[in-house]
Amino acid sequence: MSSLVGVDQGVHDALDAEPALRAACGRLAGRGLAPSWIVTHVVSDDGGAHVAYALDLPDAGALSDADLAALVADAFSPDAHPGDVAPHAHDHDLPGPASVVINDVGLGEPHGITGARAALAAQASGVTGRAVVFPGVDALRGTLPVSRVTETSAVEQVLSLGGPFAPDTPLVTRDHVRPYRQGGRWVLAVQPAIGGALVPFEDPAPKRCCQDK
């Protein structure tokens, strides 16, 4: 039986969270706890909206919820992987110490625990979320026929903002496939690219906006 875990690092941009997510995922995998799902959710508190995470971890065996929470917090510690937490092109903020929630156990600052619980509630609702890790994601690399997305992964629908497309249309994944939950389904938004190909709508390295300078 898997464990659902909420994590909040006070990050305000989903892309800023990704280096820490990848590093933590690797550390958890090294302990036999590679997440099958990592989903980011926008949550709100007195400080405004920010991003928290919901993780689905495999059975931790004899570990108590408290011990598992401590292990997850350590995996997400910025000090544990200082070279892997550089922000993306927007240069917003770095992830801080993780607050973790597993069942009735909450570890960390009170506001972070609130955010982690909110991420778990959002995950349970089945109507929101952005998946970073999901079944089949590792196969969605390089360039492949767009039909393969739904054939080999948990993505249930590919939606093109440019209109209809053939199943064999090349999808240039940029190794960055991030489906959103829409209408209770996992949907990948794509858009036309040069040469008749498609690319995921979410850019892994977006340009800095004027308001970000």
Q: Over the range 170-202, which residues count as b (16 or more CB within 10 Å of their CB) and which as e?
A: bbbbbebbbbbbbeeebebbbeeeeeeebbbeb
- What is the per-residue pLDDT for 87? 46
Which two structure tokens, joined as six digits, stand for 84?
């892997």
Other Cβ atoms within 10 Å of 101 Cβ, number: 28
CA distance 74 to 159: 38
Q: What is the pTM of this model?
A: 0.91
Query: What per-residue confidence (pLDDT) applies to 45?
Result: 76
Greatest CA span in the chain, whole angstroms? Answer: 53
213 residues of the chain, pLDDT tens digit each: 899 999 999 999 999 999 999 999 999 999 999 999 999 999 987 768 999 999 999 988 889 999 999 999 999 998 755 454 444 444 556 789 999 999 999 999 999 999 999 999 999 999 999 999 999 999 999 999 999 999 999 999 999 999 899 999 999 999 999 999 999 999 999 999 999 999 999 999 887 554 454
What is residue 92's predicted lDDT score, i.e. its pLDDT? 56
- Residue 71 to residue 192: CA distance in whole angstroms: 42
